[in-house]
Amino acid sequence: MVKEIFLFVPAFLASVLVYDWYGRMLEQMGVLDRGYTAHGLNHVWNLLMVDPLVIWIYVQQTFFPWHLKVLYGWPEMLPAYPQWQVAISLASVVLFGGLGVWLFLRRKDLFFYYAAFFVIMVPYLNLVYSGIWLAE
């Protein structure tokens, strides 16, 4: 275990340094601050309202690729979200979490791929706001 720690720590520190450097570059270029004023719990609420629906769009584009286009004008940041969007977003979070727990407990082989999808999605989840966008 000690050998693995010594192998892991330098790569992890390098990743943290690159992440910090890249974040400062984005700030200097003005990418991260484009008039978005929500922080803390307001930002988390916006993520809960928008990100699950973005994931459903990715699923739709993967399995039913109709109406593909270069730029997507959705999702939007709203001061107040419609009730249908709140219900679908929160139900999706419960569904994704429940499925993840079930896969972890029953099918760890499939859980790996399920978790990998969400790890790959991290740059698109706007955890640090750079503008809500959908990858084309």
Full pLDDT tens readout for the chain, 136 residues: 888 889 899 999 999 999 888 878 777 766 665 566 666 788 788 888 888 888 888 888 888 888 777 766 566 677 788 899 889 999 999 999 999 999 999 999 999 999 998 888 777 776 666 555 444 4
Residues 23 and 82 in one domain: no
Please give the sequence-ordered ranges of beta strands (E in DSSP) within the chain, or none if there are none: none
Residues 23 and 72 in one domain: no
Give the span between the Cα atoms of 10 and 23, in whole angstroms.
Answer: 20
Residues 92 and 135 in one domain: yes
Torsion of CA 116, 110, 105, 62, to 10 degrees: 60
Residues 29 and 51 in one domain: no
Residue closest to 48 by CA, chosen among 78, 11, 93, 103? 93
Residues 85 and 126 in one domain: yes
CA 95-100-102 angle, 5° bins? 95
Could you say which DSSP state residue 66 is in? -
- 75 preceded by a cis bond (ω within 30 of 0): yes
Domain with 52, as residue range(s), is 37-136
| pTM exceeding the 0.85 threshold for the entire prediction | no
Residues 44 and 15 in one domain: no
Residues 2 and 59 in one domain: no
Residues 110 and 70 in one domain: yes
Total domain count for the chain? Answer: 2
Residues 48 and 81 in one domain: yes
Residues 29 and 41 in one domain: no
Could you say which DSSP state residue 64 is in? S
Residues 20 and 45 in one domain: no
Q: Report the phi/psi class of residue 131: left, alpha or beta, with left for phi > 0 and alpha for psi in -120 to 50.
A: left
Residues 15 and 56 in one domain: no
Tens of pLDDT, residues 51-84: 888 888 888 888 888 877 776 656 667 778 889 9
